[in-house]
């Protein structure tokens, strides 16, 4: 089993930055892919970014050039650096992890989820 805990959410103004962190515990050596998803009120959950075990990164078009996903294997953490935030980035952000490769953008493939952290971008 794997446990995921997110931190770092909060309130920020348009154009500002936030850094989210996802701390993993348990059988972390089994994880292949870790991803960030977000869900805004009244909308479906959407893929944001992912990083695989070798450090390969993947991004949604809406965040390319603004968000950066990274991992620290020694600390078992995955971070999401969010710059130049926009009002439409407001959502609950959740990290997810899975031991298998595959369609990283599909939320249903992930076995493990954190509880989520709120990001609110104000104008």
| Tens of pLDDT, residues 14-26 | 999 999 999 999 9
Of residues 118, 121, 123, 116, the one with CA closest to residue 36: 116
Mean pLDDT across 71-82:
95
Phi, psi of 67 (to 5 degrees): -110, 145
Mean pLDDT across 71-80:
94
Which ranges constitute the DSSP H helices of the chain?
A: none
- Is pLDDT above 90 for 104? yes
As a whole number of Å, the CA-based R_g of the chain is: 13
Decide which of 102 and 71 is more confident: 71
Whole-Å CA distances, 91 to 19, 36, 58, 71, 116: 14, 12, 19, 22, 10
- Is pLDDT above 90 for 102? no
pLDDT for position 28: 84
**Which residues partner with 39 through β-bridges?**
92
The span from the CA of 89 to the CA of 68, in Å, is 14
- Quickly state the pLDDT bin for 107 (edges 50, 70, 90): very high
pLDDT for position 4: 97
Of residues 8, 6, 5, 28, the one with CA closest to residue 81: 8
Q: Under 8 Å CB-to-CB from 79, ≥6 apart: which residues?
A: 19, 20, 21, 22, 69, 70, 71, 72
pLDDT for position 38: 98
């Amino acid at each position: 089993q794997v446990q995921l805990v997110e931190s770092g959410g909060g309130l920020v103004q348009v154009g500002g930055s936030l850094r989210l962190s996802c701390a993993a515990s348990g059988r972390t050596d089994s994880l292949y892919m870790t991803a960030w998803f977000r869900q805004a009120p009244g909308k479906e959950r959407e893929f944001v970014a992912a990083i695989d075990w070798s450090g390969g990164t993947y991004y949604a078009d809406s965040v390319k050039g603004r968000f950066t996903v990274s991992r620290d294997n020694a600390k078992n953490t995955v971070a999401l650096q969010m710059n130049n935030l926009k009002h439409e980035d407001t959502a609950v952000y959740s990290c997810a992890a899975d031991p298998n490769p595959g369609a990283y953008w599909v939320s249903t493939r992930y076995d493990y989820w954190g509880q989520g952290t709120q990001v609110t971008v104000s104008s």
